[in-house]
Structure 1
């Protein structure tokens, strides 16, 4: 393996991501996602299927924040990744899978798509967050149990940036979120996310989490809806198994506020999607918008709501 490959970002193959409806590398406040060091994978069912092949090394149950909408225990599954995964990159890696109640045991051999158990609605989730499988990677000699310390991940798929004018009609609502019918997906079946004003594809919780990301190697200020929302810093590309990896950048969000029909929102939840789309607005203390209501979203400078 190329010198330095063991410490380089991990490429997420198209075959892995294609099993899911959505993914996000940045849309979380927790240390495991710092600077895109994990990916959340959103399937179309509640089955916790393994995203990687290998051998189960360990399972652990941990307590999590107490919320009425969530369970009070989460779970960690540690997998010794098969050596031939991602062009041989798996030889140096262990994978960390969270938010699945394990029905597997140490020593079990698993293939991609095998059941690890059922996903859980974790207390680590915001109420507006859908159930998902969290995946991160460590070098095989690293401590697999610490929350931080995973390698950066980089999707090996193109992610299109989709322009949005800030308007839309509510087509889905929950107590702490609404989803709009726009922007429309530019090419269903391919990956896309909402774009900054210059076309840069964005990811993350803008601005309720302190940092986000971009699926291109952009550098410098980024704006959305005419307001500067953050500053991008390009990240390294994978050295091994990442020939088709997308260029990425970390984004430090600016101090801005999000409003919908002049009412304060917590932020925008940004992610890459293959089919279902539309802007998702977060209201962590609730809202009164209804399905069918037309919204105009604006962003301006001011003190943001941070949920870390």
Structure 2
């Protein structure tokens, strides 16, 4: 995981992310480095949703890892069937796919499929376990905008607990009781917890809260979001983008779409974020 500055199991509407069966990996550059070793079985160009900010096609790379077939998406392949790749080898340049929300950075998507399952279908991948500890970082809901785009704003809080020039530990925004969170709150239906869920918790429900408001119910590591809305200084936005990061400038990423009547933000602006129950939550996927 040290080759990547960020990762997420749940922050996507793509079917494999619904229960954390796929992972998005964010390299340091726009080169899609291979997260696995093995033989390239096939590469294929596929269609994707037509977005004005993205390409209308994507790419699938299939790699035989021995025990499973790895599915890699969002990389324009510079490799061919029959080639052998090692972990960290370049697979090609990452593409800005129409599968992305506009606020999503380029990344490598990874899933694993059993050898006897169709590797070309969008569903049917194996559960993923990330052997990488993630520390939850608490937050009081306030911060200053340090980066902003057409559909997002990044705050300077919460800070990475081990700043330094290049932190090695991954952190994520924590629930009120310290659970590191993952997903799009509440704009993607499901989310996740990035710690090790309590033993036997798959059948037991536990509630999670953020900024004093109950936001979801966890069964095992998968979270179903409650009907909530995120507001900034009283104005409703799409939500909060949740992921694990080892970037020194770690901070909350707000998703706001002015084209949908939501506010925009400027670098240097100080904001206050709240989460409240609502009758009609926004769901994008």
TM category, shorter? over 0.9
How far does residue 285 in structure 1 lie from its aligned partner after superposition?
3.9
| 2:256 equivalent to 1:272 | no
Provide the alpha-carbon RMSD of the alignment.
1.0
Match 1:260 to one of 218, 232, 237? 232
Distance (Å, rounded) in 2 between the aligned partners of 1:102 and 1:215: 30
Q: Could you list the per-position Cα deviations for residues 63-112 of structure 1 after superposition, in whole angstroms to 9, with x for gaps in the alignment?
A: 1111111011000000001xxxxxxxxx3211000000111111111111
TM-score (normalised: structure 2): 0.92
Question: Which residue of the partner structure matches residue 243 of structure 1?
Answer: none
Give yes or no for contact 2:238–2:257 (8 Å, CA) kept in 1.
yes
Distance (Å, rounded) in 2 between the aligned partners of 1:201 and 1:38: 18
SS at match of 1:153: coil
TM-score (normalised: structure 1): 0.86
Give yes or no for contact 2:3–2:28 (8 Å, CA) kept in 1.
no
Question: Which residue of the partner structure matches residue 197 of structure 1?
Answer: 176
| 2:267 equivalent to 1:291 | yes
Distance (Å, rounded) in 2 between the aligned partners of 1:48 and 1:288: 31
Give the length in aligned residue pairs.
269
Alignment of 1:88-237 (within 5 A): 91-187=66-162, 188-216=167-195, 217-218=197-198, 219-234=205-220
Match 2:254 to one of 264, 281, 285? 281
How far does residue 288 in structure 1 lie from its aligned partner after superposition?
2.4
Match 2:43 to one of 51, 59, 62? 59
Distance (Å, rounded) in 2 between the aligned partners of 1:306 and 1:138: 28
Question: Which residue of the partner structure matches residue 19 of structure 1?
Answer: 3
Unaligned 5+ segments in structure 1 are: 1-16, 82-90, 235-248
Unaligned 5+ segments in structure 2 are: 199-204
